[in-house]
Amino acid sequence: MQYVHLGRSGLLVSRLCLGTMNFGPHTSEEEAFRIMDRALEVGINFFDTANTYGGVKGEGITEQIIGRWWSQGGGRREKVVIATKVYGAMGDWPNESRLSALHIKRACEASLRRLRTDYIDLYQMHHVDRECPWEEIWQAMEQLYREGKILYVGSSNFAGWHIAQAQEIAKQRNFMGLVSEQSLYNLTARMIELEVIPACQHYGIGIIPWSPLAGGLLGGVLKGVQEGRRRASEGVQRMLEKYRPQIEQYEAFCEELGEEPANVALAWLLHQPAVTAPIIGPRTLDQLERSLRALEIRLDEAALKRLDEIFPGPGGPAPEAYAW
């Protein structure tokens, strides 16, 4: 397993991050335990979750599953860098969502109870809260840090200017601020190359891409359907209508490379200099095993150029990408 620093921090994380969103709704607790055990065996030490994952509002079912897995002992907690999130609605009353100081405090303490731990390695804001001042947000995060309940702070789904705004105010408060940004990023969704990636590179913030396979679109969907191994979901079918010519070229190119499309998509992300670790979200142990191949794939300049031709990005960073 390869390890890199999370942004400008001294924290070392694996180059693949284990996403747990399927644990509970689509993956049984027993299978989730097997997946997490295997992840540790192969050296994946970076796990991502959220208080809203699990399918039932306010229950934090996925966090509970991780907590029960940790409670088995064997150094499981000590080996894992856990990232969870705050923002989403955990109830129907006021102050049970978003980023007020009150909700941040309550949400963190509830996540700690569900996870059966006394600290969270990376506490991520699941979305920007345009109605809450940064002074309030940072004050709440600083208090959790002083209490030892969180070690690092990250963002998710932030625009480039949100990242700049957050970091400048954190700097004024002599606080480290953000060390990571979790963004939608894959071959079909490259908008963050305009503003988000340049902002993250400037401030020393690691990128943690979510949906690296575009919801399955980049996972060999055409071949899978043709061979009768899988049926594309409605969402993937809609995306396939939009991207079919590109997906046909992509899957043909992956066949030339002799690699599975899913692994090529992950490998492409691993070749992007701003990326720390793509989030893989296996539903089964077999899916986890297959994802490991991406770490071994080396894409040369010709291969990267061909992927850019199939899935053109926005043209680089702004404003050059659109101004000239």
Three-state DSSP at 97 gives: coil
Question: How sure is the predictor about 236, in pLDDT bands with cuts at 50, 70 and 90?
Answer: confident
The pLDDT mean for the chain works out to: 96
**Residue whose pair of structure tokens reads 């986890």 in the numeric block:** 288
Mean per-residue pLDDT, 154-174: 98
**Single-letter code of the amino acid located at 300:** D
What per-residue confidence (pLDDT) applies to 163? 98
Name which of 185, 197, 205, 190 is nearest 279 in CA terms. Answer: 185
- CA–CA gap between residue 301 and residue 299 (Å, rounded): 7
pLDDT confidence tier of residue 181, bands split at 50, 70 and 90: very high
The CATH architecture annotation of domain 3-215+266-300 reads: Alpha-Beta Barrel (3.20)
Kindly give the residue spans of alpha helices, DSSP state H, lying in the chain.
Answer: 29-41, 61-70, 76-79, 101-115, 134-146, 160-172, 196-203, 221-226, 234-257, 261-270, 285-291, 301-310, 320-323
Among residues 3, 53, 119, 152, which one is catalytic? Answer: 53
Catalytic residue list contains 53:
yes
- Average pLDDT on 209-224 reads 93
- Tens of pLDDT along 268-296? 999 999 999 999 999 999 999 999 999 99
Query: Is the predicted pLDDT of residue 229 greater than 80, yes or no?
Result: no
Helix (H, G, I), strand (E, B) or coil at 242: helix
Cα 65 versus chain centre, distance: 19
Q: Are 122 and 152 in contact (CB under 8 A)?
A: yes
Which whole number is the average pLDDT over 78-85?
Answer: 98
Do 57 and 89 touch, CB atoms closer than 8 A? yes
pLDDT at 176 over 80: yes
pLDDT tier, 224 (very low <50, low <70, confident <90, very high otherwise) = confident
First to last CA, the chain: 41
Residue 159, number of CB atoms within 10 A of its CB: 16
Query: Minimal CA–CA distance to 253: which of 220, 215, 290, 231?
Result: 220
- State phi, psi for 297 to the nearest 5 degrees: -80, 130
Domain definitions of the chain by residue range: 3-215+266-300
- In angstroms, rounded to a whole number, what is the distance separating the alpha carbons of residues 60 and 154? 19
Please tell me the predicted confidence (pLDDT) of residue 226.
72
pLDDT at 235: 80
Q: Which residues contact 170 (CB under 8 A, 6 or more apart)?
A: 134, 138, 176, 177, 178
pTM, whole model, 2 decimals? 0.96
